[in-house]
Amino acid sequence: MRNLRVLAVCDEVDRRLYSKGALLARSTPDVLLGCGDLPAYYLDYLVSKFNVPLYAIHGNHDAPPPLEGSAGYDGCGATWMGGRTANIGGLLLAGFDGSLRYNSGAYQSTQFEMQAIVRRLVPQLLLNRARYGRFLDVLMTHAPPRGIHDEPDPAHTGFDAFNWLIQRFQPRYHVHGHIHMYDRRKPIVTRVGATEVINVYPFRELTLALPDPEPRRTYRAPLPSPGRELRQRAIR
């Protein structure tokens, strides 16, 4: 096993990260995860200061192209993971944008739409299992799974599709945002089977325990036997 240092951020520009000298006392993470609803200048700032890769998904308040405020997302240094998977130095990551639909906003989906989006990734997850012996290490979303850390109002209800994915593919971690934590009595970490579901609002420093990357397999051509070499010389 190996440890991967992660800084996950979402929903709020936090002065503990975004102020003069704020990052001096913090260790440099190996990777940044952006779980949505953050301005591009904040993401760009974190990438510039830490000089590590950023993988991000969009929240329901992010501006889509061509609206004002959307252009910065293309140049903030993020690799956008909505509806995608990636292998990041042995870390198997998947991400999904947005929240449950409650108005005409861009990064919103119905329960049925999110089911379809999630299931489109199944072939890639199966390929991960064939290649690496596991489906997924980290699931990154904006909204939570339904019934875990979510709220009863339509805007903050979680997705059924995430529950299905967790139960079927058992990622080690599911990090999400969207649910602002003003009540310290509410849980922010919930274990579901083999998966830790973590609300990272407004940021969380995590050390993720992951399997060591498998050594790269190389093919070595067999050496010719002495008898075969002698026969080839005799033919000549």
Please state, in angstroms and rounded to a whole number, the distance separating the CA atoms of residues 48 and 75.
12
Mean residue pLDDT of the chain comes to 90
Could you give the C-alpha distances from 107 to 28, 48, 58, 84, in angstroms and in order? 31, 26, 7, 15
pTM equals 0.88
Tokens 């440099």 found at: 28
**E-state strands within 27-147:** 31-34, 54-56, 78-80, 84-88, 91-96, 99-100, 108-109, 138-141
pLDDT at position 230 is 47
Per-residue pLDDT tens over the stretch 89-101:
899 999 999 999 9
pLDDT mean over 73-95: 96
Q: Using one digit for the tens of pLDDT, what is the confidence trace for 54-65?
A: 999 999 999 888
- Residue 101 sits in which domain range? 2-235
> With 90 as the cut, is the pLDDT of residue 48 above it?
yes
Q: Per-residue confidence at 210, pLDDT binned at 50, 70, 90?
A: confident
DSSP secondary-structure letter at 27?
P
The structural domain count of the chain equals 1
Q: What is the mean pLDDT of residues 191-204?
A: 97
**Between residues 19 and 218, which one has the greater pLDDT?**
19
Beta bridge partners of 136: none
198 has a pLDDT exceeding 90: yes
CA distances from 71 to 40, 76, 98, 104, 119 (A): 9, 9, 18, 20, 30
Q: What percent of the chain has pLDDT over 90?
A: 77
| Arithmetic mean of pLDDT, 81-106 | 96
Q: What is the CATH number of the domain that holds 140?
A: 3.60.21.10
